[in-house]
Each structure stands twice: as C-alpha cells, then as structure tokens.
Amino acid sequence: MKLNKFIIELFLLAMLIPIPINLKDGGSVRYRAAIYEVTRLHTLDLNSKIGYIDGLEIKILGHTIYMSVKN
C-alpha cells in the first residue's frame, strides 16, 4: 500500500516539473510540463516600434489562462 502511494506521488510530482525549451524566434523560452506550459516571449519583430515583442503566456491543460504582450 505504501509503495503504491509513493509511486502515485512520484508520478504526480513528475507531471509538475517543467522542461525548458528554447525557441528559435529571437530568445523565447517555453517551460513545459504535462499539466501546464509557461512561455516567456522575446520575439524579433521588424514591424514593432522597438524591434521585438516581449510578454508572458500561461496555459493550463492547453487553455490560455494569461497572456500579456508588449510591442
């Protein structure tokens, strides 16, 4: 019984640990776990006033919960 509980807790913990992924768009980093995803945007954009886009996007179970983008 204790072993089953330990295995379940270990599995749930593994689903919460993010893996960083560097995107090839100018410096964005995506932290991805099985349950959620956080993306720190830093994308090059020649049409923007400052030349890049900064922001933050948070997704839980594939649904966007929060998104802030500064041009």
pLDDT digits (tens, 9 = 90+) for 13-71: 989 999 999 998 878 999 999 999 999 999 888 887 888 889 999 999 999 999 998 76
Q: What pLDDT, on a 0 to 100 scale, did the predictor assign at position 25? A: 85
Sheet holding 36-44, edge to edge: 19-22, 29-32, 36-44, 52-60, 63-70
Q: Which of 48, 9, 10, 8 is nearest to 26 (CA)?
A: 48
Predicted pLDDT of residue 39: 96
CA angle at residue 61 from 24 to 29, to 5 degrees? 20
Quote the pLDDT of residue 62. Answer: 93
Q: Does the predicted model carry a pTM greater than 0.85? A: no
The whole-number average pLDDT for the span 8-16 is 91
The pLDDT, as a whole number, for residue 52 is 86
Q: Closest Cα to residue 13, out of 32, 35, 29? A: 35
